[in-house]
A and B are shown apart, each in its own frame.
Chain A
Amino acid sequence: MSEQELLNELEHVILMGHINEEDEGLDGTMQGTPGTEELVKKALEEGIDPEKLLKTFGKAMEKVGEKFESGEFFLPDMMASGECVGNAMEIVEPKLAAGTSYEKGKFLIATVQGDLHDIGKNIVATMIKGAGYHVKDLGIDVPADNILEAIKEYEPNFVGLSALLTTTMTEMEQVVKRIREEGYSDIKIFIGGVPTSQEFADKIGADHHCKDAMEALNKLEKVRDAS
């Protein structure tokens, strides 16, 4: 297989959400054939430039996005492709020179204290990771102290907070307040969850409210373009 053939094949398996050999892919027929993880490893072994792999990921995800918009793909498809790229990034990352232009940024995400809901947060985390961001997920029911500690240690560009209960929205407000109080004014804060809104984001000093993962991705790209 030539380099170009390998990259084309890689793009194809990502589009098909074929994560690894064990995975069945988009239509349930791909089990046993090399998936994203295997092809990425092979590409690195063959000495293909990691940056080319990143470009391929980007191209594939762009197509996935188009297919989702047109109604051909559904959320499970998009998440599977996101998982492909997320897993692939973990393999490629150690091979990348630090500080290069592909660094999209670091995203810290958590469901705030008192709240156990995480389906939406996990979708958002999967998709952001799939778009090439570095994601650190603190999980559910995370106290403000832990979030602040993680910010200190991980130095994220973005913080995402999820709350599904009207009662934990106040906790969200507290977290945002603490982040700003501790002087992290550059961090862009994204919030989400059914009871929240852009109005609420404005009120508590968060930067962006997102109604779903697609909006989160779009807003993230806009923020990056602006900076």
Chain B
Amino acid sequence: MDFREGVVVNPYLRLNDEEINRIHKASMEILEDPGVLVFHEEAAKYFEEAGAEVTKVPEEGDKAWSVKIPETLLEKALKTAPKKVVLGARDPKNKLVLDGNKPRAYFGSGSETNYILEISMDTYVKKDDPETTAVFPTFKRKRGTLKDLCESARLGENFENLDFFIRNVNIQDPEITNENKDVNKFFACLDNMTKHVLAGITDVRQLDNVIKMAEIIAGGKEAVKENPVVSFISCVTKSPLQLTEESTTNLLEVNKRGFPIVISSSPQGGSTAPIDEIGIVSQINAEILSAVVLSQIANPGSPVIYGSVPVRARMDNLHDMYGAPEFSQYNMSCIQMARFYGLPCYSSAGVSDAKTPGIQASVEKMLSHLCVSQGGPHLLHYSFGLLEETQTFCPEQAVLDNAHIGMIKRVYREPNVTDESIEDNLKIIRKVMKSPYRIYAKYARKQLHKGDLYLEYSFESDREDMDETMAKAKEEKERILSLPVKRLPEDVRNKILEEIPGILEKLH
């Protein structure tokens, strides 16, 4: 296979066809009334020329247009939007094929966390029994830096179950400015891993520098079209139903250059969208589709990915909340909507609301990983190490998540019901029934040695007096970070450092 296998799922269908149709209709109604608010003059013009009803909104100064989009525009857009998008990679074996009609799920990191959680394992003495000691993890939050991003990319490179990488650390080194942030973050990722790299853009004026970097890596302007080693995300809408200026510009500029882009929207049920599943899904669907329509009017045929990141709001502080079962419901339904339109889907799972790794974190993550991946999205972002409602990245938790996602991928393996497998098993059953101890152990050896069996939880503890999971995760992180780094080839690296301005000395 010349692309990553990911995991092909037989999707769980939360919505039936009728329900999908009703949500579709509801979204179409939303697009006509109230329509979307577009804070982007050029975009408003595109809509108007294509036949949408566009009126200026005086209350917003000269900056906003109300756009009512008829269904015919969507129909037209869906004819030109590619149903299949290929994301490239430094190592072509790591390419991803997103086919809107085939639910092959890939797990990736995300998003841009401000904090890194550092773990220290220290030995404590029991107060009333100084003979008794135990090792416990304690945690410290610190601001993310380029070094952390590089390390995180190296972890991602070595996580068997990480299929694509979204810069998950917000680089806050003092030398980082809005102008040099894009080139530094993309370079940090690409120089430390051979998988697909996806990110948002901070300053659209840097887009051409990032693209040039991708061209140098892929081997030229033509080669990068075949193998787009980077792609982009733009959260085009600000819920409810507003297309913002900056992210709309980003969308249009990326489209112009032909690179794949995720059109994402992330409303919060209960604050920026109805809390009802049907309400939030209808709204986010309308939001994403409005931007899909825009992209296809402006640049027909642009590769776009349906990016649904619906979240539940927490009722005590209206922060976003990822551990709520509703989060999974929202996301699963959106995946079905994307498939209804035949568009590749970017969805979300694996964030915890917990501030530290451990029980709550793993439970919440497993819940959404399992539920949402069952829906059959193409790119499942947020999957590694995210804590505290996406504010914090913890490498040790990412190590655990990698193992947990491996378990999930295993669940999706197809059952093997063939004449041959039935015959084999009947033979074994008959033989065992004739044997003195009637035990099947020796017939397990074939599968066992094919490497086909789940053997044990990777961080299993042998001790009865304390939990060692975190200590083992830390060891694994350290092991990975001691492996050789998959740097860009010397000549490619030098060319980038010479030709692309702004890459910090510490990355040279």
Contact = CB atoms under 8 A, between A and B. Distances in A.
Nearest to A83: B442
Given A74-B448, A75-B441, 12 more contacts: A17-B445, A19-B442, A23-B442, A26-B449, A28-B446, A28-B449, A76-B441, A76-B442, A76-B445, A80-B445, A83-B442, A125-B437
A19 to B, nearest CB: 8
Interface string B379-414: 000000000000000000000000000000000000
Nearest to B447: A28
Contacts of A98: none
B417 interface: no
15 contacts: A23-B442, A24-B445, A24-B446, A26-B449, A27-B445, A28-B445, A28-B450, A74-B445, A76-B448, A77-B445, A80-B442, A83-B442, A122-B439, A125-B437, A126-B437
Contacts of A17: 442, 445
Nearest to A24: B446
Interface residues of A, number: 21
Interface in B415-467: 437, 439, 441-442, 444-446, 448-450
Contacts of A19: 442
B437 A122 contact: yes
A98 to B, nearest CB: 26
Nearest to B446: A28
B462 to A, nearest CB: 13
A27 B442 contact: no
**Helix, strand, loop or mixed for chain B's interface?**
helix
Interface of A: 17, 19, 23-28, 74-77, 79-80, 83, 118-119, 122-123, 125-126
Interface of B: 437, 439, 441-442, 444-446, 448-450
A25 B445 CA distance: 8
Nearest to A76: B441
Contact of A27 (B437, B439, B449): B449
Contacts of A79: 439, 441-442
A76 B437 contact: no
Contacts, number: 41
A119 B448 contact: no
Nearest to B453: A74
A25 B449 CA distance: 11
A126 B437 CA distance: 9
A17 B444 CA distance: 12
B439 A119 contact: yes
A77 B442 CA distance: 7
A73 B60 CA distance: 72
A116 to B, nearest CB: 13
Nearest to B448: A74
A174 B96 CA distance: 67
A221 B160 CA distance: 43
A23 to B, nearest CB: 7
A19 B442 CA distance: 10
A137 to B, nearest CB: 8
Q: What 4 A-B pairs are tightest by C-beta distance, nearest first?
A: A28-B446, A76-B441, A122-B437, A80-B442
Nearest to A77: B445
Contacts of A77: 445, 448
B454 to A, nearest CB: 13
A81 to B, nearest CB: 10
A119 B438 CA distance: 9
Nearest to B441: A76
A75 B441 CA distance: 8
Contacts of A126: 437
A118 B437 CA distance: 9
